[in-house]
Amino acid sequence: MSPAPAAEPHQGLRAGPAADAVRLTRHAVADLHAELVRNGLVAWTSGNVSARVPGTDLIVIKPSGVAYDDLTAEAMVVCDLTGARVGGQLSPSSDTASHAYIYRHMPHVGGVVHTHSRYATAWAARGEPIPCVLTAMADEFGGEIPIGPFAPIGGEEIGQAVVATLSGHRSPAVLLRNHGVFTVGATARDAVKAAVMCEDAACTVHLARLGGQLTPLPPDQIDALYRRYQDEYGQR
Ligand SMILES: [Zn+2]
């Protein structure tokens, strides 16, 4: 008996510009996982980063339950926008269906990050949004960091909760009740930055509240700060 023929590789994984984009994205996503560790956002194997592969209908995402030290570019998993694996040897993250849902419903999003970072997840455990009481929050989030509903893990319900909560918000971060943080960005690096800034804000606002009442920023100041940061800040 002759062996069954190998499955035809997905068109994005054959040689050519799409295959090059997949290769670059695998490297970028592997490197960004190290940022989660470096910034103290993850414990053990929790947390994940994904990125849309530019010019394709593919995403690259972390494999499920693999130690951060072992997250090489080769270990990354390539999936289509239904969350089905089309490249890589390992099973994708258990959050893959939710990441795929976000990419399908938010075409401007090029990267998604999920963490259980400590202070932000404490707000999620209380079911409380983080109020906008710092200029850095106005800059990055354009207002409070909203709280979304609880959703079961494994399907696309978390993705639905993220999309529903972020629609109509400027914030690239959402706290999911009793669970943790999801952030989105134009790139995966932007989404990682939002996850870092979310944890920083969650910590500072928590500490501030221990000492007394929080002072909200006026909405017009939040608008002005957000506009300045998004349009003028940094190197242009
Ligand atoms: Zn989680």
DSSP string of 161-176, one letter each residue: HHHHHHTT---SEEEE
Separation of CA 6 and ligand 1 centre (Å)? 35
Separation of CA 115 and ligand 1 centre (Å)? 6
Q: Give the whole-number percent of the chain exceeding pLDDT 90.
A: 90
Separation of CA 222 and ligand 1 centre (Å)? 30
Q: Supply 226's token pair.
A: 């957000």
Separation of CA 17 and ligand 1 centre (Å)? 33
pLDDT band of 1, cuts 50, 70, 90 = very low
CA-CA-CA-CA dihedral for 146, 46, 73, 9, to nearest 10: -80
Report how far apart, in Å, the C-alpha atoms of 95 and of each of 16, 17, 146 are. 29, 28, 20
Strand partners, 33: none
Separation of CA 179 and ligand 1 centre (Å)? 6
CA distance 229 to 210: 29
Q: What is the pTM of this model?
A: 0.94
Q: Supply 120's token pair.
A: 């932000």
Separation of CA 153 and ligand 1 centre (Å)? 8
| DSSP E strand stretches across the chain | 48-52, 58-61, 77-80, 85-87, 111-115, 147-148, 173-176, 180-185
Q: In terms of DSSP bridges, do strands 180-185 and 173-176 run parallel, antiparallel, or are they unpaired?
A: antiparallel
pLDDT for 145 equals 98
pLDDT one-digit tens code per residue, 87-135: 999 999 999 999 999 999 999 999 999 999 999 999 999 999 999 999 9
Q: Which residues surround ligand 1, an ion (CB under 5 A)?
A: 180
pLDDT one-digit tens code per residue, 45-101: 999 999 999 999 999 999 999 999 999 999 999 999 999 999 999 999 999 999 999
Query: What's the one-letter identity of residue 113?
Result: V
Q: Chain centroid to CA 15: how far? A: 29
pLDDT for 14 equals 80
